[in-house]
Each structure stands twice: as structure tokens, then as C-alpha cells.
């Protein structure tokens, strides 16, 4: 079984997120999403519309996602790759090069983001309704 792991906040889930998850799943048989906890988001100065449990519930309903685990800090990625025996690490290409140090442990792939959609744009639009 080929395992894929990705990380993110996945706030205000939109078609760009689903597209990223679908493409990530194409690199393996099992997709693990490490979802930023509310506490970790605070450290990153991010505020999610939905709390961790709600975002986890939404992601678990996505047919491409096999397992959702908490992301508590930046440093846990190597440990997660080893613990969950991930063969592939996938992130959006806005992170290009930032996780190349993981190539010692698994394949690293940066995928293009879906154009014209983001959580920031979605939240901005919704706040103006």
C-alpha cells in the first residue's frame, strides 16, 4: 500500500481543497491529512471559521481522505512520515522547496493550487454579503 500525507488548515472547505485532496490521493492508495489544530493555528496567527473538530468532521466526510490526524507543530512532519509509513508528502506549490528536507524520508511533491479560489477569498466574499 502506498501512503500519501499532506498538511493544512482546510478552513472553509472549497473546491480547491477538494481538487488538491483528489490529486494527492492519485499518488497512492491511502491519504492521510494532518489538520492544523486550533492551538497551532493560534501560534501561526491564523483564525479558522470552523474549529478543529468541525474541520476534522468535514474532511473525514471527503471520499479522498482515509485518515485525519492533528498537526500540532511544524516539527512533527518527520515523525508523522515515519509513524504512518508515508511514501509521499504532498503540498501546494506555494510551499515549493520549503519541505525538500523530507526527501530523505519519502517522495516530496508540490501540486499547483486551483486558480481563483482560496479560503481567504471565500471568507472575504462571505463577510461582504
| Ordered mean pLDDT values, 10 residues apiece, the chain (129 residues) | 97 90 98 98 92 97 98 97 98 96 98 81 73
Residue 123: what pLDDT? 67
pTM of the model: 0.92
Q: Which residues are catalytic?
A: 44, 46
Residue 119: what pLDDT? 72
Residue 117: what pLDDT? 73
Residue 114: what pLDDT? 83
Residue 124: what pLDDT? 73
Residue 47: what pLDDT? 86
Residue 14: what pLDDT? 84
Q: Where are the beta strands (DSSP E) in the chain?
A: 3-8, 30-36, 67-71, 88-92, 107-111
Q: What's the angle, vertex CA 45, arms to CA 38 and CA 112, rounded to 5?
A: 85
Residue 41: what pLDDT? 95
For residue 6, which phi and psi values (nearest 5 degrees)? -140, 165
Give how far the C-alpha of residue 6 lies from the chain's centroid of Cα atoms, to the nearest Å.
5
Copy the grid coordinates of residue 24: 494527492
Contacting residues for 44 by C-beta, under 8 A, at least 6 apart: 36
Amino acid at each position: 500500500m502506498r501512503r500519501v500525507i499532506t498538511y493544512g488548515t482546510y478552513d472553509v472547505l472549497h473546491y480547491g481543497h477538494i481538487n488538491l485532496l483528489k490529486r494527492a490521493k492519485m499518488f497512492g492508495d491511502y491519504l492521510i491529512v494532518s489538520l492544523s489544530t486550533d492551538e497551532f493555528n493560534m501560534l501561526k496567527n491564523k483564525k479558522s471559521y470552523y474549529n478543529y473538530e468541525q474541520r476534522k468532521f468535514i474532511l473525514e466526510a471527503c471520499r479522498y481522505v482515509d485518515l485525519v490526524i492533528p498537526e500540532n507543530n511544524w516539527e512533527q512532519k518527520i515523525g508523522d512520515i515515519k509513524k504512518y509509513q508515508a511514501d509521499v508528502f504532498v503540498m501546494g506549490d506555494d510551499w515549493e522547496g520549503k519541505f525538500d528536507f523530507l526527501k530523505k524520508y519519502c517522495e516530496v511533491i508540490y501540486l499547483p493550487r486551483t486558480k481563483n479560489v482560496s479560503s481567504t477569498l471565500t471568507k472575504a466574499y462571505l463577510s461582504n454579503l
